[in-house]
Structures are given as structure tokens and as C-alpha cells.
Structure 1
Amino acid sequence: MRAQQFPFFPLRLLLLLTALALTVAAPAQEAERPDLETRIAEWEAVNERASTALANDFRGRDLESVKGDLREMISAAAAARRSAEARLAAAEQQLESLGEPPGEDAPPENARIAELRAQMQRDASRHEAMATEARLVEENGEKLLQEIAAWERARFRAAILERKPAPVWPSVWLAAGRDGVALAAEVISAPLRWWQARVEAGTSWQQLALVGGVALGGLLLAWPLRLWLLRRYGRDPEDTDPSYARRLIAALADGLANAVLPVVVLAAVLLVLAWQGLMTGLFGLMAYTVGGAVAGFVLVLGVARAALSPHRIAWRILPVRPEHIGALLTAIRLLTAVMAVSLTVLVTAFFSGHMTDALEATVFLASTTAVAILAGWILSPRFWTVSVEASQEASAEGAETDATAAASEPPADAREARSWPDRIRGLVRLVVMAAPLLALAGFGRLAFFVQSRLLGLGLIAALAVLLRLAAREMLERFFMRRRRQFGLSGDTTEGGVRIAVFWAGFVLDLLLLLPIAYAVMLLFGVPLTTITLWTTQLLTGISIGNFTLSLADLIAAITVLVTGLFLTNLFRRWLSNRVLPHTRLDIGARNSVAAGAGYLGVGLALVLAVATLGVDFSNLAIVAGALSVGIGFGLQNVVQNFAAGLLLLIERPIKVGDWIIVGGNEGTVKHISVRSTEIETFDRSSVIVPNSDLISLPVTNWTHKNRIARVIVPVRVAYGSDTAAVAETLHRCARENRDVLRHPAPTALFLGFGDSCLNFELRCFIGDTDRYLDVRSDLHFAVDQAFREAGIVMPFPQRDVHLQGGQDHGPPPGTTSAPSRPAGASGGGPESGDAPE
């Protein structure tokens, strides 16, 4: 009886463990449902509050706090949905392991199994409901965020397009003057009121000392760092012909030393002031605004000086005419100052509550007019030349007039090459200079927005172009230094490096495009909520049936594939160069092992990439099975060659380095791939032979098992020669050749009697087939020389040709009938004793 019950013991143990697990998990599952219902109720309340705030234009709620609550809710709902989906998948897997329930005609199912099945079905239904409810909450939150983003865009457009009084009437200017005087009075009295507030609050000198200490410490740290940057990466006065990448690095070091470091010190001081709470009221607002304006002024001016390099011509990275560098720097300095002052006035007036319509209209008109004049001056064609090289050459010549003339009259090719940058610069200049007309009509915000965004877009584009050019040059230098490691050496080094730079630069362009796109969107006022939603949708992807294709998964899959291929290539090279040469395998076996490892690595990388992409392998197997028929018919030759290539790598009837003859092609095997085999002939031409031909056609392999080959030298000697002497001479010629093997020993064979000669053959073996033609040629030379010294004659065939025309009626009249005889012949027939020829 026990023997009969023993086979059911594993099933009973499984049922017992499952029942215990369900018993233990039941209270947790029962408690989980109310907890989820409570959380869903809270999430619905968050959605309701956000919807109410949106309907009221956020008059009673802070916009950022509402968006923060929605993001937290979406994140929590997504986590709950993923957890429920994972549990649902586990429950469905357990149900699948139980199999299908018995049919109507089948015996009834075991009670415990039926109870277990029912419990699993209830769990699956509960988890599915939980996932659905969490998904609905998540979708409602995302929809609300989209509506908030649309509201922000609409509010931004309305604010930009809002029209103020046209500053063409004297009344507007008078009202602006009164408002400006009131603002100035507030600004002048702000420091005194701030100091009185600080005295009343009991500001300690320790706080002020901390601010001063931070400023002093920042200067003490920044100054040595500045000197180190300029000394290590700055411009070298002795280098008169630096590369573009070196110039850009020097400009970057100059910008960091003279622009970024001062801004960092100033930002540290402002942060300490904000942390201490010392700057309050209107004076605090003015301090932070002026500090930001000063930081922007220093940053822009420092970067401009670094790019223009007014004192070192060879290190310039912008195509500026050398005679106008001083004027251009002055224009940039004035433009930056105007923008800084305008922003300071606007921010101070707006946040202090003194911004009136008249004051705003006049300030925008004045600032946009000044920006239009200065920006039009900066973008004038007289400042710019064809290229950086032209700027340097004009400076090196030292002839300002000639350089100006040459730059103003560029050749036709140069005009055509720079037509599109000139057109873009001219269009930007026209729009910037026409913007004050909008301000004059009352659209000051729109005018200022257009001017500032176009100038900012120009700066972003210039930085992007400079970084791209520098990255391309650095990539070219990198691949030129590492060309052997990347397999780019040889006669095609330049072309291979160019291709490698192109594709690596293409990847860098894609990586550079993403932050540029985000910067441009932020610059043109796209709300951060909209950008976040677009990014989420882009990363989340689109659903195609049960498969979701997202950019994040695609990037991850491409990264896994490229990394896998790179590691496979490294492993194959390490195996070929470091491991296999130290084994007893021949070169063909080593190539087969390395190729097999490469194919295995590529296949593994593809599988991992597909798995990272989220493709279900079961569906992939179904698709592969459906396509197998089409592959069998449409790609029959490809599949046949692929299978033959695998057989060649496994059976190795031929291998790399073998000397083979197939289909009239003779040469050395250079490479065996999965589709074809490359044979290099002795004429140094490559013959690509399909692998199926190497399997189905006869192949002569001179080096299949070993590299020993037999050399046959046929020899003919005249009748009457000493045959023993001939054989000995042939043996001696073979023995004296150092490439001829002693075992098996060379042999001289007397094959028979020919028409006019005695036929011999010298047969010997050599150890390396690569020496086949050389040994055969050496033996021919040796035999010819030995026969000459021994007086052995090698005859050549002789034939007597008689030409007859029609019937023979005897000799013509007047001639004798005696037959002609060869020279030196005597007698008239065989009896004369003539030896046969």
C-alpha cells in the first residue's frame, strides 16, 4: 500500500505547502484590499483637488504644489499597478501549472485541487481589478497634468501677446516718468529700510563675517585654480599653429578661468546670504537681481573674449575680421549691459509691485531699441569673414586694407559656401532690428521675447557647432592613434578612420541633439510640465498589441547590442592573439574556434537585445515558424550556404591557410564566414566561393592533414644514355636540395621507352607546400646543370613532314629523280646501318 501511495507524495506535499501559503497570505491579502481602496480614495481626492484648482485658474492653490501632488500620485499608482500586474502574472502562472480543469465527461477533480484552483482564480481576479483601478487613477492623473500643461501654455501665450498702451503718446511717457520716479524713490530708500530692519532683528556680526569669509575663501580658492587652468590648458604663446580642438580647449579653459569661476564665487555668496536670511524686502530682491545680472554680464563677456582671443590671433575660434575685434567686443559688452539693466529694472519693478502698464511699455521700448541697435551692429557683415583661417591669414599679413578688401570680395566659391550662414545671420538681424516696432505698437513683451530668444538661440547654435567640430577632430585623432586596435591600419587607413569618425560623430550628434532640444524648448517658454509629459510619453512608448515600444527600451536594447558586439570583438581578439597561439592547435583550428566564439557572442548579444526590448520569445518563435517556409523558398541559397559554413567550421575539411583548388580556382583560404569563403589566388586576387560549392564540389586540399607535398620532375634522355648514371644524377640532385625530405626518400623511376627518348621521373617530398614551386624550379635547374656536366643529352622531338599535292607523276621535266637525303646521311636504306632517329 505504501508503495502505491509513494508516487503521490510530491503532489500531496505541493498541495500542503500551497494551502499553508494561502492560509498565511490570506490575512495579508484581505488587509491589502482595504489598504488599496484607501489609497485609491486618497488618489481620487488628489485628482479632484487638482481639477478644482485648474477650474479656478489656481487662485487658491499653488501651481507647483498641485503638480507635485499629481506626480507623487502617478508614481504611487504606477508602482501599485506594476505590483498588481506582477501578482496577476504569478497567479496566472500557477493556474497554468495546474492545467485545464477536467471536462464534463471526465472524472471529477480532486477536492483540494479544485479548492486551490478556485482560490487562485479569485486571487487573479482581485489582482486584475487592483491593476485596473490603479491604471485608471494613473491615467486620470496624467490627463490632469496634460490639461495643466495646456493651461500653462495658454497663459504664457496670453502673457506674451498682452498689449499695453502704445508708447507713442506723451501721456504714456508722463505716466511712465511718474511711476519711474516712484520706483527710484523706493529703490533709493530700500537699503536704509533694510538696515533698520536688520538692526531691529538683531543681526549678528557673525552672519556678516560668514558672508565675508565665504567671499574671501572663494577668491582664495578660485585664484590658484584660475592660474592652474590657464597654465595647463590655456593658450601657449609659442604655438603659432594650434589645431581646432586645441584652440577650443584653450578657449574653454579661458572661459572657465575668467568667467565661470567668478560667477561661482558670486553665486556662493548669494546662496549664503539666502541661507542666512540676511537679504529681505526690496533691497534683498535688488541684491539678488543685481547679482544675477552681474553674473550674466561677466559670463557672457568672458566667453566672448575667450572665443575672440583679441591678443592671440592663432588661437581664435570665431571667423571675425581682425581689424574689428575691438569694436565687436565693445558692442557685445554694451549689449550685455543693456540686457542686464533691462532685466534688473523689469524684475525689480514687477516683484516690488511698481510695474505699471505705462512704465512697462516705455521700458520695453527703450530696451528693445537699444538691443536692436547693438545686435544689428554685432550681426553686421563687416565684422565677420569667411572662416577662422581667413581671419588668421588676414591678421598674419598685417595689411589691414588688403585684408579688408580680400574679405569683402570673396571668390565665387566662398560666397556660395557661406551663403546659408550669411542668410541666417541676415534674417536674424532683420527680425531683431524690426522688433522695436512691436514695442512701439504696445507689444513690448513680444518684442523683448523675440529679441532675447533669437539671440539666445544663436548662442546655443554657435556653441553646438563649435562643440561638434571639436568632437569630430578629437575623434579623428583618437582613431588615428588607436587605428591598430580598431583594425584600421593598412592601405585603407584614411578611409577607415573617416568611416569610424563619421559613425562615432553621428552617435555624438544624437547625444548632443537631446540637451540642445531641451534647452531650446525651455528658452522659448515651453513649460517644464509639458516637457516632462513629452519626455514621459517618449520614454513610455507606444503600444502595438501586447508589445510596447518605448525609446528607453530601444536605447537600452541598442546599448546592450553595441556593448555585446564590442565585448565579443574584444574577447575574440583576446582569444586569437593571446590564448590560442599558446595552444597546439593549427591556424585553421584557431580560426574556427575564434569564429565560433564570435558567432556565439553575436547571437547572445542579439538575444539579450531582444529580451531588453521586451519581445516575448514565444511570439518570436511563432513568427519565426511562420517565416520558415518563406525563408526556405526565398532564401534557400542563403540558408544552404549558412548551413555549409557551419559544417565547414565544425568538420574543417578546409581551414584558413589551406592551399586548395576548387572549380578552377586555386589559392590560399583567407577567411571562412557563414555564407562564403574567401580564397586569395597567387595573383593576389580574391575569389569569393559560396560555402555550398565547397561542400558539394570536389575540392583539392594540399594541406588538409599536413603540409607535406610530393614534387614530380619528369626527365627525358636520349637513346643510348647510361640509365644508371641518369638515376644516380637525379638522386644526387634531390639529396643536395635542403627542402627535400630524407624520409620518405627521393626516388628516380625509369618509366619506359618513348618515341625518341627514355622517360624518367624524379619523385621527392617536401615539408611545406609553400615551397612547392620554388623546390620544383630548383630541381629543374640542378638537373639541367648535372646533365650538362655528365654529358647526358635530353633530346627534343623531330618530325619529317612531306607535302603532296594530287597524284605523283614523277619529277618535272628537266629534273633528276634521285631522292633528297638529310644532311650528313650516308647509304640508301636501313641496311646502311643508320641508327633510327
Structure 2
Amino acid sequence: MRSRIFIAGLLLLLGTAVFSPVPGVLGFTNPASAQETFEDSIAKWSRLLDRVQQEVAEDSITPERIDQIRNSLSAVRSEAEVLRDAANAELGPLRNKLDALGPRPEESEPPEPEAIAVQREEIMTDISAQTAKLKQIELALSRVNEAESSAIAVIRDRRIADIMTVSPFPLAPQTIEQALPEFLEVLRLIVESPVTWWQSLRENELRGSLFAKLAFQLTIAIAIGWGVRRLLFHWFGRDASLENPSYARRLSGAIGEGLANGVVPAMILAAFLPQALGEQSLLSGLFQSVAVIFCVAAIFVILASALPRAVLAPDLPNWRLLPLTAQNARTISRVTPVLALIFAIDAFFVEIMPALGQYALYRPSEEQRSLYLFVTNVLEAIGVLTLCRASLWRADPTAPGMSAEQVQKATQGPWHLWWMLRYLAAILAAITLLSSFFSYVVLGAQLINSLVLSGAIAGALFLLRGLGREIIGAVLRTEMIRTQIGLVHSTRKLLKFWLRAAFDLIVLITGFILISPLWGLPFGDVARVAVSVLRGVKIGSVTISPGDVLVAIVVFLVILLVTRFLQRLLSEQVLPNTRMDSGVQNSLTAGTGYIGLTIAATLAITTLGLDLSNIAIIAGALSVGIGFGLQNIVNNFVSGLILLIERPIKVGDWIVIGGNEGFVKSIKVRATEIETFQRASIIIPNSELVSNAVTNWTHKDRYGRVEVVVGVAYGSDVDKVMDILMTCLKEHEKIMTWPEPQVIFQDFADSSLNFEARGFIAQVELRVPVGSQLRIAINRAFVEAGIEIPFPQRDVNIKDIDRLENAIANRSSTQPPEPGQ
């Protein structure tokens, strides 16, 4: 189990996987041949499942045999699912035909024609046959699941028994006395393996050609690797002179250094693995296993050493991805390679033991196993505990790009996820130490190895997550997204949030799938559950599939983006070159958006596999309730379509409705947005614009009239006043000569003679500034001509003024004199 964990972890870190079918196990091949009938498949499955049940029940079954059985069961499940899908596909048309024939006539009704009755019986017979097939397939799948559960139970019970085995006390003198010589013997066999292999080569010419071939391949690999490494440093390398690089630049530098120092050397070593394991390989015997396992262990050490240095940049604090101090970054960068080296040496010796038993007939004793696992467990646990120290992960308030408050919030919170994981890792390392001291060395090895590999995978996914998030942000900042597709900043910000959230979820699920096998959950089981979930959960006659939902969302977004691109193309390049007015152009652009939205929604629903006829039935049943509940929304939607078709108003028009006045900014599905002269936005439901009176200053054209009312004092020269007003109108550059301006003697007011100066302008939105300029010119001309603009005048008449005067005089004569007079 430990060896499988080690190999699987390395392959996952390198991002490669090799899947190969296992044909011929238990006499079963997959898929079934085209000539094989359904009955033959059922009989073959039954024989296979009967033998599986017998073998799983035996105590002597080997782990290798259990793996073969599980492969065979997986093959049976795959073929059964294919046949089940085929049967369901045939049932659909048959049921449609039966529905087309209608229900069978009642006894009181006339019998149906004989031809239809015969056809009905044939269809029902076919439906019964397909239904029977489905039941047999479901029964076979149930037996497969039962047999696989039994096999998993056997594996689990044996693994638990192996893990909980009490080994000889590793520090006992007799254990050490027996284990040390055996371990020296293992070292001797490993060191002598290349000499033994070299001597086994038959001819000197073969040795020479082999040496030349290996030297040539090594030279080519090193040259290619060196060139790729130089390019990576040139493209993504860190510039020490750059004082404050952005996070994206720091991330690209970390990825470039990680690839150059880790992945490239690892790939050079990995290139020799197919040759060492291939059928034409000249390596053989024990040395072949030693070379392959050593190469895999070296790859792990290289990757595990390059990853922390790439993230932490111990010598370049400005390029550090995590807000750590320079001392802590250097300590982590030194401890991690040492821990990786110890783990790789441990895994090397564990992996080489089966090869020693095969080629050298060597069998390690329990004492050697106990002492060896104890030493490696203790060393690895100490390394993990060293990395889990709280002081090692204290944040640096002077970290680039982060304030002290952000650093404290991100790394020092007691319930932060990273701190919880650190505590968990420290607890598992402590359990490893305790279990090893109490002779449960296998349990300790399982815990510490799973912990180390989980940390390596999590570190790789951390870099992958950062890279993916930056790519999403970079794509949404491109010129095409901002201008050609026309996504505004708020929309791009919202889209970036959801895309990054979805990517984080994908990374999290990937981490669970990769790490869960390390902790006892088989990879095949996790993959099967994931595939089952992606295929969908059936609820009644509807199957809900996350995969279909994801594809539907992608289809909807892609069509929506294409629609926005077409809208932008129409509004900026195509329609401006036509003679259509702006209102027609806006209507065509908006209509394109509605059509694209409808197509996107329809295709998304179709991709989900939903039956539109069922949706229509449900919508019809709920139409009354929807009509009452959504009548305002439907009314506004229809009104919006009327506005776009009839165009009583259009974008850019100056309108007045009720007490609201402003320019039309947009006509949307439910409402129209008006921007007032104070730059305030007013959202008016479309139904109000259709049902109420609307004043549109710019409906047909943009011509408008400016009126200036002015009053002069009684006694002024009327002709002179009218001449001055006409002169002011004609001298203003914005006043049009046709229609001609007019001056009207409007009225005899209480305090003045009122005149009105009227002039037309080509841009009605300039009414206010032109009117202000005319008033200034008129006032200046009146002052120069001595024409008075009067204040309001009032005549007050007081009755019996004589009596009031007499009363005041009498009161003054009877008043006593003031003191001192």
C-alpha cells in the first residue's frame, strides 16, 4: 500500500497518468463483440459474478487477485451501462409510437381496426422485451455492486489488520542486533546490482553501444533541458532590481522558477523511465528495479525542493508569494528538501524490498522492518513538526503588496483554514511518534507518508490555483473583452468573481480526488462516484447532471458573448455607416440582444435535456397564477417591445413625462432609464411610457424654439423695443433665419408692457443656454437705449383719510407733556 501511495503521488505531481485495460481476467473481455447476443452477455456476467463471490469468500485470496477482480467488475459495469443506455434509447421511440396509437378502446366502444390492434400488440411486446432487459441489467449491476463491496471490505479489513499490527519493539537490543546486519546486507545487494547487471551483458560490443547510447541520450536531454531552463528564466525569471512587482508578476516568476528548477530536471529523469521499463530495455534484474525506483525518488526530491523555493523566494523578499519574514522563508526552504529526501530514501527502500525478494531471494525480518520504519517515521515526523511551528509562519507586516492589517487577518486568525490544517498536521505527526514508540510502526508510516504526499499535492495545487486565477483576470482585462464584446467594468468584475469561484471549486475537487486515496479511499471508488455524479441523478423522469448543467452554462455564456460582440459590431461599425437614425440603430441593436438571449436560453435548456413540451404543459397549468402574479412584468415587457418597434421614444431623446424630464439613456426589457439634467437616473416602467402622454422634444427632429418674455415700463417706445428684440434675435449665431424669428407684443400687464422674442434653433437641447444668452443681450441693449424694465407697482387707496388725520391730531393735543419739558 505504501509503495502504491508513493508511485501514485509522484505521477499526480508530474500531471501524467497511464491507464491500461486488463483483458482476459477471469475469462472476461470488454467490450463485448458485436456478434455476442444479450443473452450471452447475461450468462457470461452470471458465471463471472458467481466465481467472484466464491473467491472473495476465501481467506487465501491475494491482494493482486482482488485488484484483478475489481478490474473485471468495472468492465462488467461499463458494458452493462452501455446496454442499459441502449435499451432506454429503444424504449423511448416505442412509447412514443404507443402514445400515437392512443388508448385502447373501452368495452362499450367499437373495437379498433385489426391492423392497429396488431401493431399495438407488436409495440407492447417490444416494450415488454426491453423492460425485461432493463430488469436483468439492473439485477446484474446490483450484483456487481455487492461483489465489489465485498472485495472492498476484504481489502479494508486486511489493511486495518496490517496497520494495527504490533511489531517488535524497535529500540529493544535484540531488535537492533538483528536488524542492523540485515540492513547492511540490503545495502550490499543494492550497491552490487549494477556490477552484476554489467557483467551479465554478453558481449563487449553490446556494452560499448549501450554506453554510447546512454551517453548520447543524456547529452541530448541535458542540452534540451538547459535550453528550456534558460528560456523559462528569460521569459518568467525574477528581476532583482524590480522593487515592487505585482502579484501577477510574482506568481509568473514563481511558476517560471518552479518549472525551470523542478519540472525540467524531473522531466529529464522521467524520460528514461519508459526506456528502463520497456520491453526493449537493456536493463534487467535487480538493477532495473533499483534504477527505476531511484529515478522516481530523485524526481520527487527535485520537485519537492523546487516548489518551496519558487513560492517563498528566500533570497528575494520582494518576489515572495507568502507574507513571511526572510529568516522563516529560508528555514522552510531548507527543511522541506531535507524532509523530501528522508521521505524519498524511505520510499526507495520500501519499494526495493519486493525486488530483493524476487531477484536475490532476500526476505526482511519483522525486526528489520520495525527498526527501519521507526527511524524513518521519527525523522519524517520531526521534519513535519518543525514545519508546523507557529513562529515559522508568522506574517511579515512589511511584506510587499500587503498591509499589516491584511497580513494579520490572512495569517494570524485563530480559525483561519491554514492554521487549522497546520494544527491537524502537527497532531498527525505527534500520533506518528507515539504510535512508533508503542510498536505500531506501520500505522505511523501510513499516517506520515500520507501527510507528506498530501502536503506536496496541496502545494502544487496552490500554484495551479494562483495561475488559473491570474489567467482569468488577464483574459477579462483584454481589449477584446473590454471593447469588442463590450463588457462594462461591473460586469467583468462580477464575471471574474464567479469564474474564479468555479475554478477554486474545481481545484478543491481535484485536490480531494488526488488526496483521498492517500488516506484509504481508493482512487477507483472516488472516480466512480465522481463519474456517477457527473452522469446525473435521476429524479422521476428527469435526470439532473452537473456535467450537463456546466455545459449548458458554457453554451449560454458563449452565445451571450457572441451576441454582445454582434451588438457591438452593429452599433460601432455597421449601423453608423447607414442612413438610419440613432433610434432605429438602437432598436436593431436591442432586438439583436433579445434574439441572442432567446437563442442562448433555448439552446441551454436543450443541452440540459429538458423536454420543452413538459415545460409548456407546466407553464399552461400555471398560466393563470403567473398571469396574476407577473402581469405587471409581462405588461412592461410587451410595452418595451412596442417602444422598440413603434419608436415613440428612442435612446438620446429629450422627453418629459409627468414631473420627470431628461434624456433617454436606455430602453430595457422592463423599464426605461432617463437621465435628468442633474445627472440623476430615473427608472420609468415601460407601461407608463406607452399608456401616458409623453412630451418628446426630439421625436422627429432636433429643431426647437426659444421664447424670451420681457416687460418694459409704460410709456416706452413700442417700435423701438420690438426693433431691439429683433436685432438681438438676428445677431445670435444659434438663431435660425428660417423659420424667421418673431417679436410679439404679448400683453398689457399690471406694471409693464410684455413682449415675447421667439427664435428657432437646430439643437433643442440648447434652449436653456441660448435663452440665457438672449436675455443678457436684451438687458444690455435696453440699458444702452434707456428703456426701463419696471418693478411691479401697486396703488393703495385708504378710505376716510380725513377722519384718520383728525383723530391723530386730537390725540396729540390731549397727550400730557414729557417730564422735564
Residue of 348, 352, 366 corresponding to 1:357: 366
**Cα distance change, pair 208–762 in 1 and its aligned pair in 2 (3 A):** same
Counterpart-to-counterpart distance in 1, 2:180 and 2:514: 37
Residue of 735, 747, 767 corresponding to 1:772: 767
Aligned-partner residue type, residue 123 of structure 1 = D
**Cα distance change, pair 680–60 in 1 and its aligned pair in 2 (3 A):** closer
Residue of 96, 120, 123 corresponding to 2:123: 120
Partner of 1:92 in structure 2? 95
Partner of 1:506 in structure 2? 501
> Is 1:661 aligned to residue 656 of structure 2?
yes
Does the CA contact (< 8 Å) of 2:555 and 2:603 recur in 1?
Answer: yes
Partner of 1:529 in structure 2? 524
Aligned-partner residue type, residue 640 of structure 2 = G
Residue of 155, 166, 169 corresponding to 1:166: 169
Counterpart-to-counterpart distance in 1, 2:111 and 2:458: 76
Residue of 306, 311, 316 corresponding to 2:310: 306
Greater mean alpha carbon deviation, residues 32-41 or residues 706-715: 32-41
Partner of 1:156 in structure 2? 159
Residue of 351, 369, 387 corresponding to 2:378: 369
Aligned-pair CA distance for 1:242: 2.5
Residue of 42, 47, 50 corresponding to 2:49: 47
> Is 1:36 aligned to residue 33 of structure 2?
no
Counterpart-to-counterpart distance in 1, 2:63 and 2:714: 127
**Cα distance change, pair 40–682 in 1 and its aligned pair in 2 (3 A):** same
Partner of 2:133 in structure 1? 130
Aligned-pair CA distance for 1:605: 1.6
Aligned-partner residue type, residue 254 of structure 2 = A
* CA displacement 1:154-192 (0-9 Å, x = unmatched): 443333333322324333333323543554454455445
Aligned-pair CA distance for 1:664: 0.9
Residue of 407, 426, 429 corresponding to 2:426: 429
**Cα distance change, pair 315–712 in 1 and its aligned pair in 2 (3 A):** closer
Alignment of 1:96-245 (within 5 A): 96-100=99-103, 109-184=112-187, 186-187=189-190, 190-199=193-202, 206-207=209-210, 209-245=212-248
Counterpart-to-counterpart distance in 2, 1:813 and 1:164: 131
**Cα distance change, pair 793–423 in 1 and its aligned pair in 2 (3 A):** closer
Aligned length: 767
Partner of 1:708 in structure 2? 703
Aligned-partner residue type, residue 224 of structure 1 = G
Greater mean alpha carbon deviation, residues 380-389 or residues 615-624: 380-389
> Is 1:82 aligned to residue 85 of structure 2?
yes
> Is 1:258 aligned to residue 255 of structure 2?
no
Partner of 2:616 in structure 1? 621
Residue of 443, 453, 462 corresponding to 1:446: 443
Residue of 538, 544, 550 corresponding to 2:539: 544
**Cα distance change, pair 606–387 in 1 and its aligned pair in 2 (3 A):** farther
Give the unaligned 5+ runs of structure 1.
1-30, 394-406, 817-837
Counterpart-to-counterpart distance in 2, 1:102 and 1:480: 67
Aligned-partner residue type, residue 365 of structure 1 = F
Counterpart-to-counterpart distance in 1, 2:508 and 2:801: 96
Greater mean alpha carbon deviation, residues 198-207 or residues 221-230: 198-207
Aligned-partner residue type, residue 443 of structure 2 = L
Identity percentage of aligned residues: 35
Counterpart-to-counterpart distance in 2, 1:459 and 1:74: 34
Aligned-partner residue type, residue 439 of structure 1 = S
Does the CA contact (< 8 Å) of 1:733 and 1:782 recur in 2?
Answer: yes
Does the CA contact (< 8 Å) of 2:639 and 2:686 recur in 1?
Answer: yes
Counterpart of 1:812 in 2: which secondary structure? helix
**Cα distance change, pair 698–808 in 1 and its aligned pair in 2 (3 A):** farther
Does the CA contact (< 8 Å) of 1:747 and 1:764 recur in 2?
Answer: yes
Residue of 795, 806, 810 corresponding to 1:811: 806
Does the CA contact (< 8 Å) of 1:146 and 1:533 recur in 2?
Answer: no
Aligned-partner residue type, residue 233 of structure 1 = F
Counterpart-to-counterpart distance in 1, 2:517 and 2:297: 19
**Cα distance change, pair 115–33 in 1 and its aligned pair in 2 (3 A):** farther
Counterpart-to-counterpart distance in 1, 2:658 and 2:750: 35
Greater mean alpha carbon deviation, residues 640-649 or residues 310-319: 310-319
**Cα distance change, pair 330–759 in 1 and its aligned pair in 2 (3 A):** closer
> Is 1:345 aligned to residue 342 of structure 2?
no
Counterpart-to-counterpart distance in 1, 2:594 and 2:664: 19
Partner of 1:316 in structure 2? 320
Counterpart of 1:669 in 2: which secondary structure? strand
Aligned-partner residue type, residue 619 of structure 1 = N
Counterpart-to-counterpart distance in 1, 2:394 and 2:760: 76
Counterpart of 1:761 in 2: which secondary structure? strand
Does the CA contact (< 8 Å) of 1:372 and 1:434 recur in 2?
Answer: no
Does the CA contact (< 8 Å) of 1:557 and 1:610 recur in 2?
Answer: yes
Aligned-partner residue type, residue 737 of structure 1 = H
Counterpart of 1:811 in 2: which secondary structure? helix
Does the CA contact (< 8 Å) of 1:145 and 1:529 recur in 2?
Answer: no
Aligned-pair CA distance for 1:729: 4.0
Aligned-partner residue type, residue 180 of structure 1 = F
Counterpart-to-counterpart distance in 1, 2:303 and 2:407: 37
Residue of 638, 641, 645 corresponding to 2:640: 645
Does the CA contact (< 8 Å) of 1:328 and 1:378 recur in 2?
Answer: yes
Aligned-partner residue type, residue 371 of structure 1 = E
Does the CA contact (< 8 Å) of 1:244 and 1:470 recur in 2?
Answer: no
Partner of 1:694 in structure 2? 689
Aligned-pair CA distance for 1:803: 4.7
Partner of 1:386 in structure 2? 395
**Cα distance change, pair 392–472 in 1 and its aligned pair in 2 (3 A):** closer
Partner of 2:250 in structure 1? 247
**Cα distance change, pair 280–730 in 1 and its aligned pair in 2 (3 A):** same
**Cα distance change, pair 88–471 in 1 and its aligned pair in 2 (3 A):** closer
Counterpart-to-counterpart distance in 2, 1:793 and 1:123: 106
* CA displacement 1:520-573 (0-9 Å, x = unmatched): 213323212211221122112222111111221221222222223222222222
* CA displacement 1:641-698 (0-9 Å, x = unmatched): 3332232223222222111111211111112222222211111112222222222322
Greater mean alpha carbon deviation, residues 734-743 or residues 510-519: 734-743
**Cα distance change, pair 100–722 in 1 and its aligned pair in 2 (3 A):** same
**Cα distance change, pair 646–51 in 1 and its aligned pair in 2 (3 A):** farther
**Cα distance change, pair 152–530 in 1 and its aligned pair in 2 (3 A):** farther
* CA displacement 1:237-263 (0-9 Å, x = unmatched): 332332333233223222222222222
Which is higher, the Rg of structure 1 or of structure 2? Answer: 1
Residue of 597, 613, 629 corresponding to 1:602: 597
Counterpart-to-counterpart distance in 2, 1:360 and 1:126: 60
> Is 1:287 aligned to residue 285 of structure 2?
no
Aligned-pair CA distance for 1:107: 5.8
TM-score by length of 1: 0.82
Partner of 1:334 in structure 2? 338
Greater mean alpha carbon deviation, residues 440-449 or residues 316-325: 316-325
Aligned-pair CA distance for 1:367: 0.8
Does the CA contact (< 8 Å) of 1:77 and 1:134 recur in 2?
Answer: yes
Give the unaligned 5+ runs of structure 2.
1-32, 358-362, 812-821
Greater mean alpha carbon deviation, residues 790-799 or residues 242-251: 790-799
Aligned-pair CA distance for 1:452: 2.3
Alignment of 1:662-811 (within 5 A): 662-755=657-750, 757-789=752-784, 792-803=787-798, 808=803, 811=806
Aligned-pair CA distance for 1:323: 4.3
Does the CA contact (< 8 Å) of 2:318 and 2:399 recur in 1?
Answer: no
Residue of 544, 550, 553 corresponding to 1:558: 553
